[in-house]
Chains A and B, each alone.
Chain A
Amino acid sequence: MSVLLDVQDLTVQFTLPRQGLFGPRPVLEAVRQVSFRLEQGRALGIVGESGSGKTTAAMATIRLVEAASGKVIFQGEDLLQLDDAAMRQRRRDVQLIFQDPYSSLNPRARVADIVREPMDLMEIGTPEERRARVTDLFRLVGLRPDQLSLFPHQFSGGQRQRISIARALTTNPKLLVCDEPVSALDVAIQAQILNLLARLKAELGLSYLFISHDLGVVRHVCDDVAVMYLGKIVEMAPREALFDTPQHPYTQALLSAAPSLARRKSRGYVRPVKISGDPPSPINPPKGCAFVERCPKAQDICRRVQPLLESRGQNRVACHFPG
């Protein structure tokens, strides 16, 4: 397997508005030295609480958010070093699908134009070829070509997500960033879209960077999983290893929090791992482990020393007391 994407020490900072008239401008580190690799044809899942930096990390990877430092080696080339024109060329290889099927399509454009626009911009093919491709894509994602001249608001949420997927596939990308692509959908519709994504991955050999807060969805779609907490990856492992032998206390808490049909009130189910509270503010992150305030295993050293990602079996985990 060849490495498609190799992200190294990616850091993203946002400068917030000044507090008071002459106060300092606080800096928020949304993503802190994140590194991961994605192999051709595989799906890497990113899970974590809201605000943990999943979207920002993915957006910085494809340069829709500016990174403060780090490298994004895509097909052997550092995307962060490209000038704007070169990056626009590269965009045909990296596309994305959003969470909100309502705000991700321009309400004033017909869906055929939405799906065709990437080809227009990148001057791919003749007008007839473009039209034919749009029709093909519509069929591929399970829409009817007679719906081509409609507007986004005339589709249901699931259908809109299909349109988003068609638009993302227009330029034959190699990497698809999916940011919570099914979170806004009902379970029944969610299954339709997940099956579609799985089929496209197999048929077109796509690679996914797949963000979700739903562990069941991630387990279903992804080959590898990275868990983020307060801007950092705290655990990363192949799917089975992560779900069967989670090493980080936060991963364990996530797994025990996720509702599942196997847990019945009638059988007196009580959650084994409970964590309290909310994540700390990303403006002044703790010096040591960011999870320390909520961690059932926390010790003195956790407060002082930041744990680094280290291998443990198939997992890589950033914790002083893994397991």
Chain B
Amino acid sequence: MSALLEIENLRVAFNTRHGEVTALDSVSLTVNAGETLGVVGESGCGKSITALSVMGLIPSPPGRIAGGAIRLAGEDLTRVSEARMRALRGAELAMIFQEPMTSLNPVFTVGDQIAEAIMLHQKVGHAQAFRDAVALLDRVGIPSPDRRARDYPHQLSGGMRQRVMIAMAVSCRPRVLIADEPTTALDVTVQAQIFDLLNEIQRDFGAAIILITHDMGAISEMADRVAVMYAGRVIEEADADDVLDHPQHPYTRGLISCIPALGKGDTELREIPGVVPPLHRLGAGCAFAERCAHRNGRCDSGKPLLVNHGHHPAACHAVQEGRI
């Protein structure tokens, strides 16, 4: 059986003042219904661009999908018309953004905004849609939902706004729900509430969730499978336990060991030196080479491919050669 959502060899390019740069290169990912895929990596590694590609929301120009396919239940989203994409967006595919403040329209009540989203995809009147909106607000755990539905976004706390976003996103029971760093702007206690809510919703609706985050702890709590991204490529992909307990790629190892863990103190953190290279400076070799302790001559001449070298797929020459 093929997966619900399949991204295959996706390439996304942007026109910049440095010429055309490749923001995503040979990205392949799959998600099944009822499963959570965690996508992790530092800023600028291509997580959001991956999400926006699936939603058909790459800003164009300057961006364009330069190759590959995105299949939702067999239908290639890179080839469908904009009208078809609009119909899919919100109904089959939904997305929650990082900043709940700016992703809601400040001049309409939250109830109206959710009702609007419902009416876009279902043949119901405003009164019914508004009743559904209130029920959804109740479902996402907003107290006194009928009163809150008449509030404007600025009257809600950040956590409540993110719940509203989730309510809107799940209003048409999408098959794929993408959450792009949904809790970065929120406090830990509220983050915990949102995570619990996403899990409940998945259990109820059986949606596939793509959770984008830079926090390995969040991955551990939420994800069934993990894809680690670096400089526009997936550099490791496997079940969450495999990645967390047996990280292969030096970058994944670094990401895991540089977290100050709750359980211990004092010992010096392992650090990954340097920063993610800008896209226009990516050369022929491994993009991680400048920060990597296992680099050798081969790393500078050829990009490692994402293949299984024993445990699970990782894109690294050293892993392939059995040096680490």
Contacts and interface: CB of A to CB of B under 8 A. Distances in A.
B20 interface: no
Interface in B48-96: none
Interface in A184-242: 186-192, 194-195, 198, 213-217, 219-221, 239-240
The 4 closest A-B pairs by CB, nearest first: A259-B217, A220-B260, A191-B258, A257-B192
Contact of A277 (B42, B143, B192, B264): B143
Contacts of A187: 42, 214-216, 255, 258-259
A275 B141 CA distance: 12
Contacts of A192: 271-273
A309 interface: no
Interface string B262-284: 11111011111101000000000
Interface string B198-236: 000000000000000011111011111000000000000
B259 A271 contact: no
Interface of A: 49-50, 156, 158, 186-192, 194-195, 198, 213-217, 219-221, 239-240, 243, 253-266, 269, 271, 274-278
B297 to A, nearest CB: 25
Contacts of B220: 259-265
A293 to B, nearest CB: 10
B113 interface: no
Contacts of B214: 186-187
Interface stretch (B23-31, B126-134, B239-247): B239-247
Contacts of B217: 216, 258-261, 263
B145 to A, nearest CB: 14
Contact of A269 (B36, B218, B221, B268): B221
Interface stretch (B9-17, B166-174, B182-190, B312-320): B182-190
Contact of A276 (B193, B239, B259, B273): B193
B215 A259 contact: yes
Given A186-B214, A274-B196, A198 B262 contact: no
A177 B260 CA distance: 20
Contacts of B275: 156, 158, 189
Contact of B254 (A188, A194, A198, A220): A188
A156 B43 CA distance: 11
A217 B266 CA distance: 10
A186 B42 contact: yes
A306 B64 CA distance: 60
A198 B215 contact: no
Contacts of B1: none
Contacts of B141: 276
B157 A271 contact: no
B223 A265 contact: yes
Given A191-B258, A259-B195, A260-B220, 4 more contacts: A191-B271, A259-B215, A265-B222, A266-B240
B160 interface: yes
B159 interface: yes
B216 A188 contact: no
Contacts of A195: 268-269, 271
B107 interface: no
B191 interface: yes
A191 B187 contact: no
Contacts of B224: 265-266
Given A187-B214, A187-B216, A271-B196, A216 B259 contact: yes
Nearest to A267: B241
A280 to B, nearest CB: 11
Interface string B158-182: 1110000000000000000000000
Given A156-B275, A192-B271, A278-B157, A257 B189 contact: yes
Contacts of A263: 217, 220-221
Given A217-B260, A261-B220, A265-B220, A194 B196 contact: no
